[in-house]
Amino acid sequence: MTTGRPAIFGGAPSLAAGDHRQWPIITDEDKRAVLRVLDRGILSGAYAPEALALEQELAAYVGARYALLTHSGTSALQLAVAAASIGEGAEVIVPAYSFVATPHSVALQGAVPVFADVDPVTGLLDLAAAEEAITPRTRAIMPVHVHGAASDMDALLALGKRRDLHILEDAAQAHGATFRGKPVGALGITGGFSLQSSKNLCGGEGGVFVTNDPGAAEVAASVRSFGQDVHLDEGASFDVTRPLDGTRALDSQTLGGMYRGNEMMAALVRSQLTRLPALTRVCQENAARLFARLRELPGVTPPTEMPDRTSVHHKVRVHLDPVQAGLACSPRALRDAIATALRAEGCDVVLWQTEPLPAQGVFRRRAQLAYRSLPGGTDLVQNYEASRYPSTIRLLDGSFVLFSHSCPLIAQSQGTVERYADAFVRVWEHRQAIVKALGLAQE
């Protein structure tokens, strides 16, 4: 265990160059999977073999009847909105804390993202705030299983049933996370995952739309292919050796795009999926050890683990309370000081987000949003005022994320994770001197 003077005061760093393992981890099996595609010469197509196989495997993994491969997590979420028949002017409630792809997926369908505050500790959608945001124009709620932690799906589904609303799941970061023993993603009517490089299951870029509803799956399949009249059972007569040919009429019935994934990405994800359960178990074990160490420190709160859910710990957001820590400084000052000290120890520390989503320029200006002149526009101006989300602001001001996109927790060895814990303990023991040295203590 590292003890003594923190690195910021001249001590030896807790972590050395090379301690971090970069993500994704590419194996010889992964390389052979991609070469298999190149040797076959079939690189794309809705019914190409790798895409079809991956869709079947992912459907089984997340407990969905249907899975459709897309070119990004954002397009998977956009399909989730479209397949639930959410159209222009309809409102969809989304958390004020997430990645911007969540509200973008709503706006790209011409619908209206309406923000609601989150729990200041978990970062998950606050159900009371979500219900308060419901208007006569609301058609759906899109909870985010943020950082790989499951939202309360029973409560959300009950709310949806009571208020006649669809529940659309943003599971972009939550491959394998469970709520009461069931995988998240397909518990609502539709959902979407991301396969981007930083995700626990990655293919470089990509996404997966999931549903148990056959009608929703048919709509998604059409929107995914330029809104054309496609059907999920057409693959039986499709010649996979000639993936660019076919007899289907090129007749778009509705607006859509080319949102399909490609064969090399599908092959890589299939290979990575075989290792995901084992990697997730190790990640969860390492997280449990790290969180136990951090909980011993006054004023430090690691991610909350709820007994009826499992998290896959895509991100590790740690909260710091200056009052409990015995410090006379603001939460943001403490956050910045400890982040600086941990970086000096060799730890990866990032903020990821610094403001509620409605503070981003696209929502502040609303100039590019198709619904800016709809009835209720005044309500939207108020909804997009970032100060209306105090719990989100509190979460962001008083916390940071350990590990990074390039070197996430799932990629790290037990030894590296233990050195993170040692570094945190070492820095925390000197927190008062660190805050003072950085000139952040309040007078």
Q: What is the pLDDT of residues 134-173, one digit of tens each?
A: 999 999 999 999 999 999 999 999 999 999 999 999 999 9
Determine the average pLDDT of the residues in 296-307. 95
Q: What is the 3-state secondary structure (H, E, C) of the chain?
A: CCCCCCHHHCCCCCCCCCCCCCCCCCCHHHHHHHHHHHHHCCCCCCCCHHHHHHHHHHHHHHCCCEEEEECCHHHHHHHHHHHCCCCCCCEEEEECCCCCHHHHHHHCCCCEEEEECECCCCCCECHHHHHHCCCCCEEEECCECHHHCCCCHHHHHHHHHHHCCEEEEECCCCCCCEECCEECCCCCCEEEEECCCCCCCCCCCCEEEEECCHHHHHHHHHHHECCECCCHHHHHHCCCCCCCCCCCCCCECCCCCECECCHHHHHHHHHHHHHHHHHHHHHHHHHHHHHHHHHCCCCEECCCCCCCEECCCCCEEEEECCCCCCCCCCHHHHHHHHHHHHHHCCCCEECCCCCCHHHCHHHHHCCCCCCCCCCCHHHHHHHCCHHHCHHHHHHHHCEEEECCCCCCHHHCCHHHHHHHHHHHHHHHHCHHHHHHHCCCCCC
**pLDDT of 221 strictly over 50:** yes
124 domain residue, yes or no: yes
- Inform me whether the pLDDT recorded for 443 exceeds 50: no
pLDDT surpasses 70 at 379: no
Q: Is residue 249 part of a domain?
A: yes
Q: Does 384 reside within a domain?
A: no
Q: What's the whole-model pTM score? A: 0.94
Task: Decide: residue 234, CB within 10 A, 0-12 exposed, 13-18 middle, 19+ buried.
Answer: middle
Which neighbouring-strand residues pair with 400?
318
In this predicted model, what pLDDT tens digit does every residue of 393-442 receive, in sequence order?
A: 999 999 999 999 999 999 999 999 999 999 999 999 999 999 999 876 54
**Does residue 74 register a pLDDT over 90?**
yes
62 located within any domain: yes
pLDDT, averaged across the chain:
92
Q: Is residue 429 part of a domain?
A: no
Question: Is the pLDDT score of 42 beyond 80?
Answer: yes
Tally of domains within the chain = 1
Check whether 289 has a pLDDT greater than 50. Answer: yes
Asked whether the predicted pLDDT for residue 324 surpasses 50, the reply is yes
Rounded to an integer, the average pLDDT of 58-65 is: 97
Cβ contact 433:9 at 8 Å: yes
* Domain span at 134: 28-272
Q: In whole angstroms, give the CA distance from residue 340 to residue 58.
A: 40
Residue 441 within a domain: no
Which of the residue ranges 183-187, 226-230, 383-387 has the most confident prediction, judged by mean pLDDT?
Answer: 183-187
Instruction: Assess if residue 96 is contained within a domain.
Output: yes
Residue 309 lies in a domain: no
User: Is 50 exceeded by the pLDDT of residue 205?
Assistant: yes
Residue 152, domain CATH? 3.40.640.10
Predicted pLDDT of residue 178? 98
pLDDT at residue 368 in the model: 59
pLDDT tens digits, 76-110: 999 999 999 998 889 999 999 999 999 999 999 98
- Burial (CB < 10 A; 0-12, 13-18, 19+), residue 183, is buried
Q: What are phi and psi of 351, to 5 degrees?
A: -90, -30
